[in-house]
Amino acid sequence: MDIMKSFNLAIDYIEDNLADELDEKEITRITGYSFPMFSRIFSIISGYSLSEYIRLRKMTNAAIDLKNSDKRIIDIAIKYGYNSQDSFALAFKSFHKLTPGQVKKGEKYQYFPRIYFSISVQGGNQMDIKIEKKKALKVEGVKSDVTKSSNFPKVWDRLVEKVPREKFEEFGNGQIFGVGYDYIMDEEDSFIYLAVFRLD
């Protein structure tokens, strides 16, 4: 399964479970990527963090529920994971610029559509390349001997097994890197791959 198809299936799962807690293992099962890696790739190709996307979709669906149902505001707040009507109203107004009560009375609200991923082929033009030398930094992670056809998500899974993803935020602003070196131009194009997080 190609990455775009698997990511769209993951979005289907997220959309079906906006009112529930996401199962990170199910995301991994669908995409083949660990949840931290899925979140990172999602952010890169969509321009939104996964948590931001989920929040915007929840606020959109909450407005639809308010507009098209007789449910109380507090019931809708609880449905989308808010413990109080006040905290829900604050998040709701931040996105819609209106209170839940105003939307329930018929005011127009903001709409954030679901994301669909597709491949867009670009390039083919000559580019100027510049190599920059960065300052040394400290990293820690796992190392694997790989080829270009290796299953790189499994390398990241090994890192996440050793260091819970919550720990990433404690080091280097949560930055993680994939690093390749000692490239050998043989039949398999083998090299050494590091899945690391920044320490300093």
List, for residues 63-91, the tens digit of each pLDDT value. 999 998 889 999 999 999 999 999 999 99
Higher-confidence residue of 4 and 142: namely 4
Residue 119 lies in a domain: no
Give residue 134's pLDDT band: very low, low, confident or very high (50, 70, 90): confident
- Domain hosting 59: range is 3-105
Position 55 scores a pLDDT of: 93
Q: Which phi and psi (to 5°) does residue 145 adopt?
A: -85, 120
Above 60 in pLDDT, residue 169? Answer: no
Please tell me whether residues 97 and 160 are part of one structural domain. no
User: Does any domain span residue 73?
Assistant: yes
Residue ending a domain, choose from 105, 127, 152: 105
Please tell me the distance from the alpha carbon of residue 121 to that of residue 28, in angstroms, as a whole number.
26
CB 62 within 8 A of CB 73: no
Pair 94, 161 in one domain: no
C-alpha–C-alpha distance, residues 2 and 184, integer Å: 27
pLDDT at position 174 is 59
Determine, yes or no, domain membership for 64.
yes
**Does residue 35 sit within a domain?**
yes
Contact 141, 195 (CB under 8 A): yes
23-64 pLDDT per residue, tens: 999 999 999 888 988 998 898 888 889 999 999 999 999 999
Output the pTM of the full model: 0.60
pLDDT at 14 over 90: yes
Q: Rounded to whole angstroms, how far apart are CA atoms 64 and 111? A: 9
Mean of pLDDT values over 94-106:
91
What is the rounded average pLDDT for all residues in the chain?
82
Domain co-membership, 159 together with 76: no
| pLDDT surpassing 80 at residue 151 | no
The answer to whether residue 16 is domain-embedded is: yes
Question: Above pLDDT 70, what percent of the chain?
Answer: 75
Q: Which long-range contacts (CB under 8 A, 24 or more apart) does 78-86 make?
A: 79/19, 80/18, 80/19, 81/19
Separation of CA 184 from chain center = 33
